[in-house]
Chain A
Amino acid sequence: MTGPLLELDGVRKHYPVHEGLILRRQVGAVRAVDGVSLSIAAGETLAVVGESGCGKSTLARLALRLIAPSAGTIRFDGRDVTHDGRAALKPLRRQMQVIFQDPFASLNPRMSVEEILAEPMLVHGLGDAASRAARVRELLDLVGLARYHADRFPHEFSGGQRQRIGIARALALKPRLIVCDEPVSALDVSIQAQVVNLLKDLQAEFGLAYLFISHGLAVVRHMADRVAVMYLGEVVETAPVGALYAAPRHPYTQALLAAAPVPDPARRPARPALGGDVPSPMKPPAGCRFHTRCIVAQARCREEAPALRTLGPGHAAACHFAETVPAFTRLGAGERHARLQARLALYERKRAAMTATTAA
């Protein structure tokens, strides 16, 4: 195996904050991303989870090199692209694409689906009209849309179908990496399941790598190979997906998992796991940034920022007390009820039969 496909090393993005109308003094900086190191291998899904303002969307834009980092290095396929300009980045853009959260805002309402899907090829000067039209048909098939949809406009589609168009557009140039920025957050449960399954099928077929940005912990469980948890611009824990959900070591990861509502009325939490709001990224707390909300915080946490320490294979957490924080217990006993399980199996069988007859 060769090196990682995408590598971020100590990446920072600070946005200066100015005050005053005439003398624009800089009064501080929003540290949106503050020293993040991550890597994604070909064909792998790395999920980045965190709450609003944790810097995950800024990280996505840095990974795509839509913005330049304030510090640190970004390498794609072993090549340093940190300081590349527009021209140098253009070939890179063919290899990394993006799917946005809002399928209503990310498609041009004046373009037909065919134009939307052909545009990336036009921009990169690929093929002729005939080959582009053929590729559009191929893309529609891939994402489960009908060929006659090519002549329609975005407003004629439902949210789920629009997201399929967005996915088809991202696939148009046969990229190796797709940054998925909350791709299913705006979709209904049944549609979300369709899109999650589609993304996984496409990954298996084309060996795509995904940088999957999400606040939905349950979706991440289904999508990711590895997970990085962000808080106030920093990665506080990173682990293989199984380890993260079974044995989270950072108190923030534990709180996030505890706060996610479990679809089982028999397991209701006594109290919310976490009080307070996320502090301002302009003035992150000194020491460990999470200490203002952390239940195990000690004096040391207020003074000394913890480094990301390796705790197991691929598992690291930035907490002084990662070894001694109480084990996380809420999950695990989450067996689906036998009756529901049986009905789901029956539903799946019937549905398979139904799709078989429709296809025939």
Chain B
Amino acid sequence: MPLAAARPILQPDHPATAPRGAAAPEPILEVRDLATTFATPRGPIRPVDGVSLAVAPGRTLGIVGESGCGKSMLSLSLMGLVPAPGRVTGGSIRLEGRELVGLAPAAMRSLRGRRIAMIFQEPMTSLNPVHTIGYQIVEALREHETLPARALKEKAIAALRQVRIPAPERRFDEYPHQLSGGMRQRVMLAMALACRPALLIADEPTTALDVTIQAQILDLLRELQAETGMAIILITHDLGVVAQVADEVAVMYAGRIVERAPVAAIFDDPQHPYTIGLMGAMPRMEDERDRLVVIGGTVPPPFALPAGCRFGPRCPFAGEECRAAYPPTAEIAPGHAVACWKAPVETQA
């Protein structure tokens, strides 16, 4: 097997970010028909089932969905971290032009943390409580760089400074329990960004945080993206967060992307009945006290998917064709694609 590590690594820093709204630059990550399969006693299940997406440098792709839609398994698939007995069984993941599906574990480990990094929802469980945060950042750096201890420490402190942690020299020697939730998430970010990855996957990074701290972390993500030009995939269940930080949005349901569009179009012109339902189910501060739109039923478990469109049994617009076959994904406007037989729904009135 040709050793991928021998290939020239891309520039240490990323090309300058293209201004928002300009012609989309070449994607840094391109995923096509990705499938992740688990063998279970009830037969194989596919929490990620034919997902295609792309994200360009300096851009943020928001992936929205409810529990069980496969969004977290998608991010683990991208990281090459699918837990056994699951594995990626189809499709392609190209990061900076390089195929990740089928990559040897050692080669993947060398990319992970260096070109593609991830932060999780609960920083307390991702940090080791018995080591100082400085030790943990140095440990992550040492995985990819051979530097003297002093240089590693300086680099770790610089990483803490980059995420706006006050007095980073002092924080270096503190333990996770001495930090607030917001500070811990900053440490996770420092660790993830220490090697300047080209792509950051943030899986519900602010869900466990208070709303004022969430605003600080989202703002920090925006600033760091502007500084480094990294691409971000932000996984969340919160449409408010998506509206605040994403450039493009993909809505996931039962392992598939049912709609993807530029962020303005998702909120202004949602096409898929599931997206429309989500918009109505979300309580808004602007609204008077009234009833929320309800999406009946629950997300089907992956071992009991309905035939045809997976949203069909919950969909008010569903008809014969929806029960017969899964709808193809059609582009209805530039960058706006939807997988629904009934879209646009106005024709169903």
Is the CB–CB distance between A245 and B215 below 8 Å? no
Also in contact, A193 and B264, with CB within 8 A (given A277-B213, A350-B348):
no
Specify which of A245, A263, A353 is in contact with B267 (CB 8 Å cutoff): A263
Cβ of A268 within 8 Å of any chain B Cβ, yes or no, is: yes
The interface-forming segment of B72-80, B109-117, B281-289 is B281-289
Tell me the bound Cα distance from A259 to B273 in angstroms. 29
CB contacts (< 8 Å) of B241 on chain A: these are 261
Once the chains are docked, how many angstroms separate the CA of A223 from the CA of B182?
28
- Chain B: CB-nearest residue to A350: B316
Alpha-carbon separation in the docked complex, A193 to B284 (Å): 11
Contact B264 A334 (CB under 8 A): no
Q: Is the beta-carbon distance between A347 and B212 smaller than 8 angstroms? A: no
**Cβ < 8 Å to A, chain B residues 273-313:** 273, 276-296, 298-299
Most buried by A among B180, B182, B211, B214: B211
Count A/B pairs, Cβ under 8 Å.
188
| A224 CA / B348 CA spacing, docked (Å) | 36
Asked if A277 and B240 make an inter-chain contact with CB atoms under 8 angstroms apart, the answer reads no
A193-B293 CB under 8 A given contacts A263-B267, A343-B270, A344-B276: yes
A257 contacts partner chain B, Cβ-Cβ < 8 Å = yes
Question: By the criterion CB–CB under 8 Å, are B285 and A189 in contact?
Answer: no
The residues of B that contact A274 with a CB separation of less than 8 Å are 212, 215-216
Contacts A339-B269, A347-B276 given; does A222 touch B180 at CB 8 Å: no
In the complex, B320 has a CB within 8 A of chain A: no
Q: Does B210 contact A (CB under 8 A)?
A: yes
Contact B268 A339 (CB under 8 A): yes
- Among B305-349, those with CB < 8 Å from A are 316-317, 345-346, 348-349
Which stretch of A9-17, A92-100, A211-219, A316-324 is in the interface?
A211-219
B269, A344: Cβ atoms under 8 Å? no
- The reply to whether the CB of A194 lies closer than 8 angstroms to some CB of chain B is yes
B96 CB-CB contact with A under 8 Å: no
Instruction: Answer yes or no: A348 CB below 8 A from chain B CBs.
Output: yes
Are A348 and B293 in contact, CB atoms less than 8 angstroms apart? yes
Which A residues are in CB contact (< 8 Å) with B128?
none
The answer to whether B285 and A262 have CB atoms under 8 Å apart is yes
- Chain B's closest residue to A271 (CB) is B219
A264/B267 contact (C-beta < 8 A), A196-B292, A344-B279 known: yes
Assuming the contacts A245-B285, A260-B285, A337-B267, asked whether A269 and B215 have C-beta atoms less than 8 A apart, the reply is yes
Decide if B293 touches A344 in the complex (CB within 8 Å).
Answer: yes
In the assembled complex, which residues on chain A have CB atoms less than 8 Å from the CB atom of B346?
342-343, 346
- Are B291 and A343 within 8 A (Cβ)? no
A259 touches which one: B212, B276, B299 (CB < 8 A)? B212
- With the chains together, A219 CA to B238 CA distance in Å? 13
B126 CB-CB contact with A under 8 Å: no
Chain B's nearest CB lies how many Å from the CB of A216?
8
Question: How many Å from the CB of A241 to the closest CB on chain B?
Answer: 7
Complex CA distance for A192 and B281, rounded to whole angstroms: 8
Q: Is A314 an interface residue (CB 8 A)?
A: no
Chain B residues closer than 8 Å to A223, beta-carbon distance: 289
Question: In this assembly, does B67 line the interface, its C-beta being within 8 Å of a C-beta of chain A?
Answer: yes
Would you call B66 an interface residue if the criterion is a C-beta within 8 Å of the partner chain's C-beta atoms?
A: yes
- B243 close to chain A: CB less than 8 A: yes
Query: Least Cβ distance of B208 to chain A in Å?
Result: 9
- B219 pairs with A190, CB closer than 8 A: no
Within 8 A of B (CB), among A274-300: 274-275, 277-278
CA distance A344 to B289 in the complex (A): 17
B244 close to chain A: CB less than 8 A: yes
B183 within 8 A of A: yes
Whether, in the assembled complex, A200 has its beta carbon less than 8 Å from a beta carbon of chain B, the answer is yes
Contact call A350/B281, Cβ cutoff below 8 A: no
Inter-chain CA distance A263–B242, complex, in Å, is: 8
A244 to B214, CA, bound (A): 22
CB-CB < 8 A to B67: which residues of A?
159, 188
B-contact bits for A182-211, CB 8 A (1 contact / 0 none): 000000111111101100100000000000
Shortest distance from the beta carbon of B181 to any chain A beta carbon, whole Å:
8
Nearest B residue to A352 via CB reads B316
Q: Is A26 part of the binding interface, using a Cβ–Cβ cutoff of 8 Å?
A: no
The complex places the Cα of A202 from the Cα of B167 at a distance, in Å, of 52
Residues in B174-228 with C-beta less than 8 Å from chain A: 180-183, 210-216, 218-219
A217's partner among B215, B238, B285, B348 (CB-CB below 8 A) is B285
B294 close to A197 (CB less than 8 A): yes
- A342 and B285 CA atoms in complex are apart in Å by 20
Mark interface residues in A317-360 (1 if CB within 8 Å of B CB, else 0): 00000000000000110111101101110111011011100000
Q: How many whole Å from B289's CB to the nearest CB in chain A?
A: 6
What residues on B are CB-neighbors of A219 within 8 Å?
283
Could you tell me the distance between the alpha carbons of A353 and B319 in the complex, rounded to whole angstroms? 13
- In the complex, the answer to whether B277 meets A190 with C-beta atoms within 8 Å is yes
User: How far apart sit A262 and B288, CA to CA, in the bound complex (Å)?
Assistant: 15
The residue that A273 contacts in the complex, of B215, B264, B281, B299, with Cβ under 8 A, is B215
Among B213, B239, B292, point to the contact of A193 (Cβ < 8 A).
B292
The verdict on A275 contacting B216 (CB below 8 Å), with A245-B285, A346-B348 known, is yes
Q: Does A69 touch B at the CB level, under 8 Å?
A: no
**B63: interface (CB < 8 Å):** no
CA distance A189 to B214 in the complex (A): 18
Give residues 144-167 of A contacting B (CB, 8 Å).
158-161
Shortest C-beta distance, A337 to chain B (Å), equals 5
Chain B's closest residue to A332 (CB) is B286
Whole-angstrom distance between the Cβ of A338 and the nearest chain B Cβ: 9
Sample of 8 further A-B pairs with CB below 8 A, known A189-B281, A268-B243, A354-B316: A51-B213, A158-B298, A159-B67, A188-B66, A189-B237, A347-B277, A348-B293, A353-B316
**Can you list 21 contacts pairing A with B, beta carbon distance less than 8 Å?**
A51-B210, A51-B211, A52-B181, A188-B299, A193-B294, A222-B287, A222-B289, A224-B289, A261-B211, A261-B240, A262-B240, A262-B285, A264-B243, A278-B180, A332-B286, A336-B286, A339-B268, A340-B268, A342-B346, A347-B293, A350-B316
| The 9 residue pairs across chains A and B that have the minimum distance between CB atoms | A334-B286, A261-B240, A350-B316, A193-B281, A193-B292, A188-B66, A51-B210, A190-B295, A272-B215
| A contact residues vs B (CB 8 Å cutoff) | 51-52, 158-161, 188-194, 196-197, 200, 215-219, 221-224, 241-242, 245, 255-266, 268-269, 271-275, 277-278, 331-332, 334-337, 339-340, 342-344, 346-348, 350-351, 353-355
